[in-house]
Structure 1
Amino acid sequence: MKNLKFTIEDREIAELLGRQNFSTKESAIFELLKNSYDAGAKTCDIYINNSYIKIIDSGSGMNELDIKINWMHVGKSNKGYKDKNNNRILTGSKGVGRFALARLGNRAKIISKKENYNPVHWETDWITSGFKELTDDVEMGTCIEITDLRDNWRLKDIESLKTFLNRAYKSEDMKVFVHFNDDKPYQIQSIFKDLKMGINYSSKILLNYDSKNMELTVTIESDEFTPEIGSVVDVNTANYYKDTFSMENELKIAKTIENSHFYLTQLGDFSAEFYFSLEKQITDVANKFMYKYNGLMGLDTNIALYRNDFSISSLEGKKDWLEIASRARRSPAAATHPTGSWRVRLNQIFGFVKIDKVINHNLKDLANRQGLEEDDFYHFFEDILHFGISRFEKHRQSIIRKIVEKRNTENKEKKEEKKKLSQFLKRPSTVTKMSKKEIVSLVTEIKDIQREAKEQSKVFKESEQKHKYDVRILNVLATQGLRASAIAHELQNKRNALSTGFQDIVSALEEYGFWEELNSDEYTRVSYKDVPKTLKNLEEINLKLIAFLDVILNKIEKNKFNSNVDSIESVITKIINVWEQQYNWLDFNFKINEIPRKYKFTDDVLEVIFDNLILNSIQHNELKDRLIIEIEVEVNGDFINLKYSDNGRGLHRKYKNDPGRILDVHETSREDGHGLGMWIVNNTLHMYDGKVIEIYGEDGFNIDLSLRG
């Protein structure tokens, strides 16, 4: 066959790879700036007015051969990984960046001088292109001039360009200056260059991913809280945190372990640096939560993605590509929420992620450098970053919760001390008999009430968010329960058929004389034609359905929500009986120390706690032949202490160092899990002034709980 090559019209390729390939004029200039960097330039000057754009650099320049062999060869890049002369990691790879010229103007001219060669002149109007050597003496480097501009450049456009380049360009190897009309030149500086803790941010989050070991190291450096935090947690704990996590254990994605291993090891090492700061708070709120700084000068940018020292254009920090806002909407709990998972808000975090041209080659740029291909590698990359951010969120929320506990204790103590005001309100005339010290105490109480009234709006909003969060999750579960109960009511009408159907069919077949024949070797040899075996399986399924009906219809009985418990033993015994009927491979050991009395909670509270614990044990030990569950209850005054354990596989290895994580909403080690069971247990305990005391899972699963009765 004869070899053929495509013939491409210059104007069409300029349209496709120029105007349509670069979404903004800023990104087109940025692409040309990269060429100057790859040429080894120490300086790059960008001149802009309404007549032309000039980009002049002090790089290595081009000669005739470079123009013909490289510049005019579309889709070919002569750039490797590093420039041996200056050790810069080269940015070019696709051989299409030169068409950024076409995005900016209809005409372009290049004059370039390479050391020991004559200067060259290349020019195009994107219909025809011309080239010639020059005899003029020009300085080494390249000058690009673009005319017949496609855009108007006004002062606000120049400001947008400066902002873009400050976010997009992170290197200090090449100085970049922007010139507009006769204004003083502006030097581009990375926005992340001179950040300071206590001025721009209160906490720094460092992430380092090691692809060989599939481990993510999370380091947190913080100065968010005043020294008073020492009364709540160890100061070092509040100011510094570091831990390493196995991503193979942590990331539960709907893929096989082998595939996960492949993606996690081939993703390549990368790092991230995030900064956290709070918006300005009401002074009383700032004092309440021991905030050291109130309203810092955080950067007006989101999270930038750099491949080496150049951002992937549209991901330079303007776009929320890591979906920080979306994460917060899915979990809107405040940091003060006792059980819900707080998520950092978009206006509270900024920073950058850094990947490498070769090390992270599986994270592929789109053709227009406006993002990354969102394939499986990208999703693993995103999930690792989300996990790293979640460790900061969990660490910070644990501190906030302890501050809330301390303040609640203090408030209770203050209420007990506030006696003067109640005495005064009962008998106002007593004020004339009060001493100066007592009057001061009275005034202090009144001021405290005024301050608390000002905070009430804030408290109400936090409470509203808490309940909205709880209700959103519980509404989903309730809806599924109602759907199940509707089906259960329909099946209840067929209960007799479910319970006696098997025996009715057997009796009929015996009466017709078929049963004995159907049990013969001839008719039971093939499994799927074995009628007695099929009927027996159906009987087992029917019995399961009957048990399901009993559970569903029993759980929604109205009286369960109305009458208080007068015997914990009887409630738990009923719970155990139901589970034993459904699962014959369960054994229960139940001990209780109780004097029957009226408790402050109803049957459903204990059912929610123990049903979720038992279900959790079953789902994590389905391959076990015999599962032993031990429940121990001790009533001690107003508190009921509960101990629950099983002899199963215990906690997943990712929870070894932090077992309390299993209480977080949507936290699960099962690929098909929803991560709500243990959260519901914890949330229920909090509703009754209870808590999880301890979780350990080395020898089976064990959890100690308490609630107020």
Structure 2
Amino acid sequence: MENLKFTIEDREIAELLGRQNFSTKESAVFELLKNSYDAGSAVCNIYVEDNCIKIIDSGKGMNDEDIKNNWMHIGKSNKGYKDESSNRIYTGSKGVGRLALARLGNRVRVLSKKKNENAIVWETDWVTSGFEKIKVDFDEGTSIEIVDLRDKWRSKDIDNLVEFLNRAYKSEEMNVFVHFRDAKPYTIQSKFKDLKIGINYVTKILLNYDSTSMKLTVTTESDEFKPEVTEIVGPSFARYYKENFNMEDELKNSSKIEDIDFYLTELGNFSAEFYFGLEKQLNETAEKFMYKYNGLSGLNKGIALYRNDFSISSLDGKKDWLDIASRARKSTAAATHPTGSWRVRLNQISGYVLIDKEINAHLKDMANRQGLEEDEFYQVFTEIIHFGISRFEKNRQKIIRNIDARNHVEKSNENKKKLKEFLTQPTTVTKMSKQEIVSLAAEIKDIQREAKQQSKVYKESELKHKYDVRILNVLATQGLRASAIAHELQNKRNALSSGYQDVVNALVEFGFWEELNSEEYTRVSYMNVPKTLENLEEINVKLIAFLDVILNKIEKKKFNTKVDSIESVIKRIIDIWKQQYNWINFEISVDDEIQREYKFSDDVFEVILDNLILNSIQHNELKDKLLIEITVKIVDDLISLKYSDNGVGLHRKYNNDPKRILEVHETTRSDGHGLGMWIVDNTAHMYGGKVIDINGENGFNIQLTMKG
């Protein structure tokens, strides 16, 4: 068979791999800058004229062999991982970057010289190409001249080019200058160079991922709040925070990717550096939340993705490739929200993610060079980054919540006192001095501002509650479907409870029972009739227990009556669980002082205890015996409920932050929904309380409060 090779016209190559492969003229210039870097040049000068672009470097240059064997061989690259002489990691690998020339102009002239060799000149109009040897007056380097430009270059285009290169080029190994007309040359310098806390940003978030151990290290350096904030948030507040997370534990059940450990280990090490800042706030707001600086968000240049020191095309920070805005839209809660999760906004964060050409080889450029292939490796990559950002969000929200809680108590007490004095004797206003009247007016304005702020909080709460209601509606619908089936089965209750004995009695009466129990008929398990009937009887018992639970839970009176005796309610709940799980022991202790009638109904304790008990059962199914202790007492006029078991405790990923289990959809079970503990937390908040403490080192322990 005769060997054949495809032949593609030069003009078509230039069109497909040049004009269509580089979406913008800035990205095409950037690609040629990368060639200068790979050539080892110390300087790259870019000259833009009315109808000509020149790119001149002092790199290694090319000879005639390089032109014939490499330059003219599209799709072939002689670049490995690193240039050993300059120690630079090569940016190119696909052998198509030179066609960026076609994106910029219709005619090109390349003049290049290797040290101690003849210079060559190569020219093309993208129909015909050729080269010859010539003499030049420089030792080595390359000069590219592009004419008959495809785009107009005006002052604003140069500004866009400089801005793009400042975002896209991070290295300091090659100086880059852009010249335009008679203006002073622009020096290209990374936007992330020489940044300082308190000047360019208030918090730095560092992520370092180690694929060998699947460990993500999250470090934050913050100077957002005044030093006095430690009086409110306690000694746990610090400018510096560092914590390690096992990403297999964190993503195993939340990620949609199967075999997550494979992708986590094969992904390779990478790092990220983010900068957080807030836009200017009202002075009252800045003072209220103890911000040390007011308005440090000028760094907002997006998040860039660098492969070594060069951004990946279209991921230079202009595009929201990490979906920061989408994350924020899905969780609109303010940082002060008591249960909702605050998410950083797109205009509040900037920075970069750094990957390596060889170490992160699985993160592949798209064929059109406009980003990365969004495959399983990419998904795991972004999930790790999102998790790292969420740790910063959670820590910051904790501080804001504590400050807000303190402010709310102080302001409420102060306003009540001043209003009471004024309303008790309003006529005293006529005897006030001008300064006292101004002070009173300021107090009333503060109350109005507080009311507006509360209105805003209520609106944010409403958005959060809409999501809460959606989840609860799904659960309620499932419950109603279950109750409908339960009512149908209730009509068959007699058959369920006596069915086994009725069949056995019939078989005895007909004379088959003794024979069916013989060794001959019980040898094969699936033909063992007595054993099959026993299994069915066991299922029937569980079905009857299920009917009792479902029909008992939806009785209307449970939602209408008040609790007369907390102890009797708890005992009634426990008795139902004992009927179903005889391997669980309960110990309860209810304070004798709890005598009065309480305003919430039976279902409140059922919701909390049923979820806690079910959680204990599901995480301790392999234990022969389980002890659950429930203690209820009055603490500071609040009902305090302590619940503990002697089971396996919390998963190791919650060791440093046990309250993470309260977040919606947080679970370590592959078949779990992560709603149980979220419901417990929501119920406590609904009744004016909160979860005080969670500990999972010696069994599972939780303490929460509610107002009676």
TM-score bin (small chain): over 0.9
Corresponding residue for 1:295?
A: 295
How far apart are the structure 2 equivalents of 1:636 and 1:253?
A: 38
Corresponding residue for 1:386?
A: 386
How far apart are the structure 1 equivalents of 2:574 and 2:236?
A: 46
Residue 671 (1) aligns with residue 666 (2):
no
Amino acid in structure 2 at the alignment position of 1:447 = A
Amino acid in structure 1 at the alignment position of 2:578 = E
**1:617 to 1:97, Cα distance in 2 relative to 1, 3 A:** same
**Contact 1:499 1:546 (8 Å CA) reproduced:** no
Corresponding residue for 2:585?
A: 587
How far apart are the structure 2 equivalents of 1:151 and 1:548?
A: 74
How far apart are the structure 2 equivalents of 1:22 and 1:136?
A: 32
Q: What are the Cα deviations for residues 614-648 of structure 1, in whole angstroms up to 9, with x where unaligned?
A: 12112212222332211122235622221111121
How far apart are the structure 2 equivalents of 1:127 and 1:578?
A: 86
**Contact 1:204 1:221 (8 Å CA) reproduced:** yes
**Map 1:185-334 → 2, pairs under 5 A:** 185-234=185-234, 237-253=237-253, 259-334=259-334
Shift of 1:340: 2.2
How far apart are the structure 1 equivalents of 2:108 and 2:543?
A: 77
Q: What are the Cα deviations for residues 126-162 of structure 1, in whole angstroms up to 9, with x where unaligned?
A: 3332122123445521122223333333333332222
Residue 485 (1) aligns with residue 480 (2):
yes
How far apart are the structure 2 equivalents of 1:510 and 1:10?
A: 93
Q: What are the Cα deviations for residues 205-247 of structure 1, in whole angstroms up to 9, with x where unaligned?
A: 1112223332222211111112331321357833221222222
**Contact 1:342 1:394 (8 Å CA) reproduced:** yes
**1:246 to 1:93, Cα distance in 2 relative to 1, 3 A:** same
**Map 1:169-568 → 2, pairs under 5 A:** 169-234=169-234, 237-253=237-253, 259-415=259-415, 417-418=417-418, 421-431=419-429, 444-497=439-492, 500-501=495-496, 502-503=499-500, 518-568=516-566
**Map 1:625-636 → 2, pairs under 5 A:** 625-636=624-635
Question: What SS does the aligned partner of 1:206 have?
Answer: strand
Corresponding residue for 1:569?
A: 567
TM-score normalised to the size of structure 2? 0.92
Corresponding residue for 2:47?
A: 47
Amino acid in structure 2 at the alignment position of 1:639 = L
Shift of 1:489: 1.5
Shift of 1:286: 1.3
**1:433 to 1:163, Cα distance in 2 relative to 1, 3 A:** closer
Amino acid in structure 1 at the alignment position of 2:6 = F
How far apart are the structure 2 equivalents of 1:227 and 1:119?
A: 65
How far apart are the structure 2 equivalents of 1:518 and 1:102?
A: 88
**Contact 1:499 1:543 (8 Å CA) reproduced:** no
Amino acid in structure 1 at the alignment position of 2:290 = M
How far apart are the structure 1 equivalents of 2:609 and 2:562?
A: 17
**Contact 2:257 2:376 (8 Å CA) reproduced:** no
Corresponding residue for 1:610?
A: 609
RMSD (Å) for aligned C-alpha atoms: 2.7
**Contact 1:59 1:141 (8 Å CA) reproduced:** yes
Shift of 1:693: 2.6
Question: What SS does the aligned partner of 1:200 have?
Answer: coil
**1:514 to 1:134, Cα distance in 2 relative to 1, 3 A:** farther
Question: What SS does the aligned partner of 1:634 have?
Answer: strand
Q: What are the Cα deviations for residues 93-150 of structure 1, in whole angstroms up to 9, with x where unaligned?
A: 1212112222223332211111111111222233332122123445521122223333
Amino acid in structure 1 at the alignment position of 2:311 = S
Shift of 1:515: 5.3
Shift of 1:387: 1.7
Farther off after superposition, 286-295 or 600-609: 600-609
Corresponding residue for 1:10?
A: 10
Shift of 1:27: 1.5
TM-score normalised to the size of structure 1? 0.92
Farther off after superposition, 689-698 or 604-613: 689-698
How far apart are the structure 2 equivalents of 1:441 and 1:583?
A: 69
Corresponding residue for 1:691?
A: 690
Amino acid in structure 2 at the alignment position of 1:246 = N
Shift of 1:254: 6.9
Q: What are the Cα deviations for residues 274-300 of structure 1, in whole angstroms up to 9, with x where unaligned?
A: 011112222211111111122224223
Shift of 1:192: 0.9
How far apart are the structure 1 equivalents of 2:548 and 2:410?
A: 48
How far apart are the structure 1 equivalents of 2:396 and 2:628?
A: 35
Farther off after superposition, 189-198 or 281-290: 189-198
How far apart are the structure 2 equivalents of 1:545 and 1:32?
A: 73
**1:683 to 1:480, Cα distance in 2 relative to 1, 3 A:** closer
Count of residues in Structure 1 that have an aligned counterpart in Structure 2: 704
**1:349 to 1:64, Cα distance in 2 relative to 1, 3 A:** same
Residue 705 (1) aligns with residue 700 (2):
no
Shift of 1:190: 1.0
Shift of 1:311: 0.5
How far apart are the structure 2 equivalents of 1:287 and 1:389?
A: 26
Give unmatched runs, 5+ long, in structure 1.
none
Question: What SS does the aligned partner of 2:82 have?
Answer: coil
**1:47 to 1:518, Cα distance in 2 relative to 1, 3 A:** farther
Q: What are the Cα deviations for residues 359-395 of structure 1, in whole angstroms up to 9, with x where unaligned?
A: 2222222233322222332222222212211111111
**1:256 to 1:221, Cα distance in 2 relative to 1, 3 A:** closer
Q: What are the Cα deviations for residues 328-350 of structure 1, in whole angstroms up to 9, with x where unaligned?
A: 22222211112222211111111
How far apart are the structure 2 equivalents of 1:190 and 1:221?
A: 21
**Contact 1:285 1:455 (8 Å CA) reproduced:** no
Corresponding residue for 2:96?
A: 96
Q: What are the Cα deviations for residues 256-277 of structure 1, in whole angstroms up to 9, with x where unaligned?
A: 9994444333322221110111
Q: What are the Cα deviations for residues 297-339 of structure 1, in whole angstroms up to 9, with x where unaligned?
A: 4223211111111001111111111121222222222111122
